[in-house]
Structure 1
Amino acid sequence: MIIQIKTFNQLETQELYEVLQLRSEIFVVEQDCVYQDIDGKDEEATHLMGRKKDKLVGYTRIFGPGQLFEEASIGRVMVKKGERTHGYGKEIMEASIEFIRNSFGDVPIRISAQTYLLKFYTSLGFVAQGSEYLEDGIPHIGMIRR
């Protein structure tokens, strides 16, 4: 998998289309969750894209400290169905963490994790904070990596 990292203004029209299409495919259709994905925050975010044979297979949306939370944050973490057995989720998360470290230093990182992925995020150094809550009808838990 090849990792690309771009600001919103650096995204080409086709790349933005692929990102929004995959986010809709996973978060709206696959997870059967009606929510406002295009939330006005993409323009402020850094977009990490994982490509395999020129096709988008993984993605995260990254914010620096103070942009979304006091801490840096990673969200919209996704890997295309059918590509989830290759370790791409771990690869895009590690690349996202590295981007934050290189850009902002050794800062805490906050995520809102789907509860069923708690073990996955714990393996990346994130620690659960607070109680489980529903976000768009899906159980989540706040997590921090220091």
Structure 2
Amino acid sequence: MPDPETGGVLRRAHLQEIDPRTVYLLAKLRQDVFTLEQHADDADLDGRELEPSTVLLWIEAPDAEPVTGGLERQPVAQLRILRDPDGTVHIGRVVVRADRRRDGFGRRLVRAALDVAREIAPEAVVEIGAQAYLERWYASMGFETTGPLFLEAGIEHVPMRYVHPRD
């Protein structure tokens, strides 16, 4: 169901459950932001989406200039949720299309990811390598900084974690 404020529809799936067109559009979104816009110098596709425990979340919204012609919903934001063998949950590859930033999609997506993380691993700490300029934004959602700046893909990041509140 679309969010009444943004018109975006939240989707959740494992890679093998997603139709090829959507997989292409999700990969294109990450390429457009990480490679073309931010000039990341590491490969984005690292094989982690192929792991059976990886969950992809994305938001589709009406697009005035869709890739395929005609007015239809397109992925405008996405992320992935990873689970390590030790039980740690990671949120990563958080991306929002440049022309859709400040529309609330990023916050909605991260909050949804925290809900999914709690569902799949209720006691796990959630870790994220946040781009440094977004540290305060993540902190506003309850993430805490856990270490110093580091470079990933040639971009400054900061390690952060989220601990689910006890009920």
TM-score class, shorter-chain normalisation, is over 0.9
Contact 2:55/2:81 (CA < 8 Å) preserved in 1?
yes
Contact 2:29/2:97 (CA < 8 Å) preserved in 1?
yes
RMSD: 1.2
- 1:76 counterpart residue number: 93
Name the TM-score, length of structure 2 as normaliser.
Answer: 0.82
- Equivalent position SS for 1:95: helix
Alignment pair present for 1:2 and 2:19: no
Name the TM-score, length of structure 1 as normaliser.
Answer: 0.94
Counterpart mapping for 1:105-120 below 5 A: 105-120=122-137
Per-residue CA deviation, residues 94-136 of structure 1 (Å, 9 max, x unaligned), is: 0111111122214210000010000010011110011111111
Name the count of aligned residue pairs: 144
What is the alpha-carbon distance in structure 2 between the residues aligned to residue 128 and residue 10 of structure 1? 34
- 2:159 counterpart residue number: 142
The one of 60, 63, 87 aligned to 1:51:
60
Identity of aligned residues (%): 28
Counterpart mapping for 1:1-146 below 5 A: 1-44=8-51, 45-53=54-62, 54-64=73-83, 66-67=84-85, 70-146=87-163
Shift of 1:34: 2.8
Shift of 1:33: 2.0
Mark the runs of 5 or more structure 2 residues left unpaired by the alignment: 1-7, 63-72
What is the alpha-carbon distance in structure 1 between the residues aligned to residue 125 and residue 41 of structure 2? 30
Structure of greater Rg: 2
What is the alpha-carbon distance in structure 2 between the residues aligned to residue 48 and residue 28 of structure 1? 20
Alpha carbons of structure 1 residues 101 and 70: separation in structure 2 relative to 1, 3 Å: closer
Mark the runs of 5 or more structure 1 residues left unpaired by the alignment: none
Greater fraction strand: 1
Shift of 1:6: 0.3
